[in-house]
Amino acid sequence: MSDHSMRGQSPRVTMKDVARRAGVSQPTVSFVLNDRRDVSVAPDTRERVWKAARELKFQPNRAAQSLRSNRPFTVGVIADRLVAQPYAGQIILGVQQAVQPSGYVCFVVETTETPDAGAAAVENLMAQGVAGLIYAAPDPRPVRAARIPDGVRSVFVNCWPSTGTDVPVVLSDEWQGGRDAAAAVFGAGHRHVVFIGGPENDFACQERERGLDHAAVEAGVDPAIIARHYGNYQVASGYDLAVQVLARDRPTAIICGNDRMAVGALMALQSAGLQCPTDVSIIGFDDQPDLADQMHPPLSTVALPHLQMGIAAGNLLLSDDEPTGRHLVPCHYIARGSLSTPRFEGHL
């Protein structure tokens, strides 16, 4: 009895089996399945081979195929401070979902602020033989990327090279997300609105604030009357800024730079004896897992499309074209209980 029978497994389908089913030679099957365009195979023969492969559920041996064809089937992902973040897996999962149907797998390397800008990681990945490289970061910003060898395609997701190299960059549409969040606030009837954001020179903060201004103009609100305060995206920063705001006057809504700052703002309201959204509505940004929907009340926020960004990056890497420039992935506003119509309008 064979090992396969003892284990209750079916024998592996080989190229010989496909050749027998298609009525062609084994080399012809190899040429077709390895997409050897330098070898002439009639179109009807190619179709017959692919039909036989599908019927037999043929799965190529990628390791052997890579050795024979000198074609790598691995995508290298250079992750800068990404793995420890709550949404990191979504970006990497998106890349894997995009490349897996073509037979590729991801090899992830975390650099975490290495002094060589990931040069050693890139060198090691190239030694392993990769089809291309994807740089990924937890927040949109320039990164000091190692030099990538000529002929190796690269894509940057949620970051871009500080050198300004014209490579494809995938980003969430922070401007659109900021506009949609603010439009929801103005659409609910709020006019006395305060913005508390991250660092004033931060890319995401700037884009979200631009979106806020656009929504204000569309709602007939002068952006100049919207008070703005800047922090560092942490809970304590949101708390401190909201305390300062509430000590001066009473806005009917606070638009926060991210969900963590929204948590701080909610704590400040509670410390002041106020309720959300009865007294003050609060809006966040990120839709951070296990946080935004667990707050009381659940936080109205904007979901960052990390999974879709990873998918877009993987598709660009394997694209037949030569993509360049920025590719924006839409954000999604999520309405929850922290936003309602204002109970009153104006100062205390």
Question: Are residues 295 and 183 located together in one domain of the fold?
Answer: yes
Q: Which of 69, 89, 113 is the last residue in one of the domains? A: 69
Question: Are residues 146 and 218 located together in one domain of the fold?
Answer: no
Q: CA-to-CA distance for 234 and 81, rounded, in angstroms?
A: 17
Question: Are residues 62 and 178 located together in one domain of the fold?
Answer: no
Query: What pTM did the predictor assign?
Result: 0.75
Question: Are residues 267 and 151 located together in one domain of the fold?
Answer: no
Which residues are registered as beta bridge partners of 79?
A: 110, 136
Question: Are residues 39 and 18 located together in one domain of the fold?
Answer: yes
Query: Does the N-terminal peptide bond of residue 138 adopt cis geometry, omega within 30 degrees of 0?
Result: no
Q: CA-to-CA distance for 315 and 295, rounded, in angstroms?
A: 36
Instruction: For residue 340, tell me if it sits in a domain.
Output: no
DSSP secondary structure code for residue 192 in this structure: S
pLDDT the model gives residue 179: 97
Question: Are residues 60 and 95 located together in one domain of the fold?
Answer: no
The shares of helix, strand and coil residues in the chain, as percent rounded to the nearest 5, are: 40, 15, 45
Q: How many domains does the chain have?
A: 3
Q: What are the distances in angstroms from CA 188 to CA 181, 185, 221?
A: 11, 5, 13
- Which ranges constitute the DSSP H helices of 162-202? 174-187
Instruction: For residue 318, tell me if it sits in a domain.
Output: yes
CB 11 within 8 A of CB 1: no
- Of the candidates 218, 276, 271, the residue with the CA atom closest to the CA atom of residue 247: 271
Instruction: For residue 336, tell me if it sits in a domain.
Output: no
120 Cβ neighbours under 8 A, 6+ residues apart: 114
CB 282 within 8 A of CB 274: no
Instruction: For residue 126, tell me if it sits in a domain.
Output: yes
Q: CA-to-CA distance for 333 and 271, rounded, in angstroms?
A: 28
Question: Are residues 168 and 310 located together in one domain of the fold?
Answer: yes
Question: Are residues 181 and 263 located together in one domain of the fold?
Answer: yes
Question: Are residues 155 and 84 located together in one domain of the fold?
Answer: yes
* Residue 149 CB neighbours (<10 A): 11
pLDDT the model gives residue 116: 58
Core vs surface per residue 232-241: b (16+ CB within 10 A) or e: ebebebbbbb
pLDDT the model gives residue 79: 80
Which residue positions in the chain have pLDDT lower than 70? 1-12, 34-39, 60-72, 82-84, 86-88, 112-118, 127-128, 149-150, 344-348
Instruction: For residue 31, tell me if it sits in a domain.
Output: yes
337 Cβ neighbours under 8 A, 6+ residues apart: 277, 297, 298, 300
pLDDT the model gives residue 230: 97
pLDDT the model gives residue 43: 85
Instruction: For residue 120, tell me if it sits in a domain.
Output: yes
Question: Are residues 219 and 181 located together in one domain of the fold?
Answer: yes
Range of the domain at 286: 174-304
Q: Tell how many helices (H) and how many strands (E) occur in the chain.
A: 12, 14
Instruction: For residue 343, tell me if it sits in a domain.
Output: no
DSSP calls for 10-63: PPPP-HHHHHHHHTS-HHHHHHHHTT-TTS---HHHHHHHHHHHHHTT----HH
* Residue 220 CB neighbours (<10 A): 8
pLDDT the model gives residue 285: 96
Instruction: For residue 310, tell me if it sits in a domain.
Output: yes
Write down how long the chain is: 348
Question: Are residues 206 and 279 located together in one domain of the fold?
Answer: yes
Give the domain CATH number at 319.
3.40.50.2300
